[in-house]
Amino acid sequence: MSGMYIKAVNTVKKYNMLFKGAKVVTGVSGGADSTALLLFLCSLRESYGLEVYAVHVHHGIRGEEADRDMRFVVSLCKKLNVKCTVKHHDVKGISKEKGISEEEAGRMVRYSDFREEMEKRGADFIAVAHNMNDQAETVIMRLCRGSGLTGMAGIRPVRGNIIRPLIDCFRSDIEEYLAFNNQEYINDSTNFKEDYTRNRIRLNVIPYLSSQINSSAMENIAKSAVLLREEDDYINSIALEKLNEITVKKEKDAVSLNAAKLCKIDKVLQRRIIRLGLLALKKDIKDISLNHVDSVLKTAVKGGHIDMPSGFCADISCGILKLRLGRAQKYDFSYRLEMDKPVFVKECGLYFLMTKNAEKLDEKADNVYTKAFDCDKITINPEIRNRRNGDKIIINKSGGTKKLKDIFIDKKIPKDERDTVAVIVSGNDIISLWGIRDSAYFLPENRGGNELFIYAWRKSYD
C-alpha cells in the first residue's frame, strides 16, 4: 500500500475531514497533486460512501497546452465515473481589470468556481491538493513578506468547508502513489518558469536549503508550521474570551467594544481581538494588514474613524469602538464653548474647557493639553467644529494664511483622521487647529496679560 495513501487516510481521520455519505467537490488541474487527490477520494467512495465531483478551470492562458489539460481531466473523470464541470475564464483579462497578479486572479476564479459547484451539488466539502511542499513554500514566502504568527502557521488542513487531505504528504509521496496506481498526469510548463514568487522558492530556495543547510529543511519548516498553528490557535482562544468580555453589542453588520477595557489589554491580544471582531462580520479579512489593525487601535485611544479594505470601517463614540461593514460616517459637528463649563466632543473623544484660570487641571484628568490665546482678540464666543471646505488659518504676524487641507498634507495627517480634528473658531476666524497648529493672530503677545486658556483631555473631568 502506498505511503501517500496511509498518510492521507491518517490526515483525514486526525482532522475529522470527512463523514459517512459526504459530498465532496475537488479541483482537478490534471497535475500530479490534484490527480492524486481525485484518485484518493475515489478510493474512499466505498468505505465513506462519498459522492465525488470534479471541477476543472481553464484559465485561457496556455493555448493548446491548456486544452490538452482539459481533455485529460475530462477523460480521467469519465474513467473514474466522476461528474466533471469545466469552467472557462480569461484570467489575463481579469488580472488587468482588477489590478492583481495573474496568480491571484487564477486563485480567485478557481475558488469561486469551487463554491459555485458546491452549492450546485449540495456538497459538504471542497477538497484541494495542497501538500507538505506547498506548506514549506508558503511559510518561506510569508516569512519574506513579514507575516505574523497566523501567517507563519501556514496552510491549515481544514478551513471552514475546505479540506486538504494531502497536507502531510511530500510531493515525492504523491508521485510514488501515482506510479503505484499506474496513473499518468500532466506537467504544467508554467511550474518551471520563474515568473511567480512561489515558483522561484520551489525551484531555487528550497533546493538550496535542502542541499546546503539541512536535508530535512522542507519537512522541518512544515513541522514548525504545525507548532505555530497550535500556538496561534491557543492565543486566539484567549483573545476570543477577551473579545466576548469587552463586547458591548453584537449586530449583523457591527460589533461594539468597550474602548477603555480594550486599551487595558496587552497589545498582542488587542490586535487579535480586532481581527476576530472583523471576522465576526465577514469571513474574508485577507486585505486587512497590521497597519489597518494598528490604526483601529489608535482610533480607540485618540478617537475618529477609519475606512479599511473589503468594506470594513471603525469609529468611536462615547467610549464605544464600533467595528462595522460599510463606510465610516462623515462627521459634521459643532459645540459652543462657555466659560468654565467642560464640553465633551464625542467625535474627537476629547473634553474641552475654556477658562481665565491659568492653574493646571487636577490630576484626575489624563493627558491634559493647554493652549493660551489673546482674549482681547476673541470677539465672538468660541465654538469647536469639524473642518469645512475653504478653511484657512493665519500662519504669521503679517496675516499670511494657509489652507487646512495643505496643513494636513504637510503634517501627514491620514485622510480618515482629518474630519475628527477639532477646529476652534471665533465666528469665521480659526483660533486653533487643535494639536496641530494655532493661529498666529490669536496667540498672546505677552504672557500674563488678558489670556484665555483652553484645556483638552481624555478622561472625564469631575
Report percent pLDDT > 70 for the chain: 93
Residue with cell 494664511: 401
> Which DSSP symbol is given to 424?
E
- What are 291's three cell numbers? 497597519
Q: In terms of DSSP bridges, do strands 350-355 and 343-345 run parallel, antiparallel, or are they unpaired?
A: antiparallel
Helices (H), 145-266: 149-152, 171-180, 197-200, 206-208, 217-246, 259-263
* Encoded amino acid at 44, one letter: L
**Residues contacting residue 270 through CB under 8 Å, at least 6 positions apart:** 262, 263, 297
Q: What local confidence, expressed as pLDDT, does residue 461 receive?
A: 42
Q: Could you read off the pLDDT of 285-316 as tens digits, one per residue?
A: 878 888 889 989 988 888 777 888 888 888 88
Which pLDDT score is estimated for 302? 81
Query: 69-123 pLDDT, tens per residue?
Result: 999 999 999 999 999 999 988 888 888 877 777 788 888 889 999 999 999 999 9
Residue 6 CB coordination number (10 Å) = 13
> Pick from 69, 185, 25: which is nearest to 88 by CA?
69
* DSSP state letters, 69-104: HHHHHHHHHHHTT-EEEEEE--HHHHHHHHT--HHH
DSSP letter for 202, please.
I
Give the span between the Cα atoms of 330 and 309, in whole angstroms: 17
Q: How far apart are the first and last CA of the chain?
A: 77
How would residue 399 be classed by pLDDT, with cut points 50, 70 and 90? confident
Determine the pLDDT at residue 365.
53
For the domain bounded by 3-226, which CATH number is listed? Answer: 3.40.50.620
Q: Where in the chain is the domain with CATH 3.40.50.620?
A: 3-226
Place of cell 492524486: 36
Residue 462 has pLDDT above 60, yes or no: no
- Residues 295 and 417: their CA atoms lie apart, in Å, by 10
Buried b or exposed e, range 261-286, using 16+ CB within 10 angstroms: ebeebeeebbbbbbbbbbbebeeebe
- Average pLDDT of span 324-341: 80
Task: Report residue 330's pLDDT band, with 50, 70 and 90 as the boundaries.
Answer: low
| Amino acid residing at 223 | K
Distance of CA 423 to the CA centre of its chain: 33
Share of the chain above pLDDT 90, in %: 57
Q: What does the pLDDT look like over 233-249, one tens digit per residue? A: 999 999 999 999 999 98
**Is the domain covering 251-325 a CATH 3.90.950.20 domain?**
no
The residue with cell 487647529 is 433
Residue 233: name the closest of 153, 290, 132 by CA.
153
H helices present in 99-205, as ranges: 102-121, 132-144, 149-152, 171-180, 197-200
In the chain, list all ranges with CATH 3.30.465.60: 251-325
* Sole residue written with cell 511559510: 139
Range with the poorest average pLDDT among 127-131, 133-137, 280-284: 280-284
| Residue 339 β-bridge partners | 354
Please tell me the distance from the alpha carbon of residue 17 to that of residue 41, in angstroms, as a whole number. 12
- Cα–Cα distance for residue pair 444/450, rounded to 1 Å: 8
Could you write out the DSSP letters of every residue in 251-267? -SSEEEEEHHHHHTS-H
DSSP 365: S
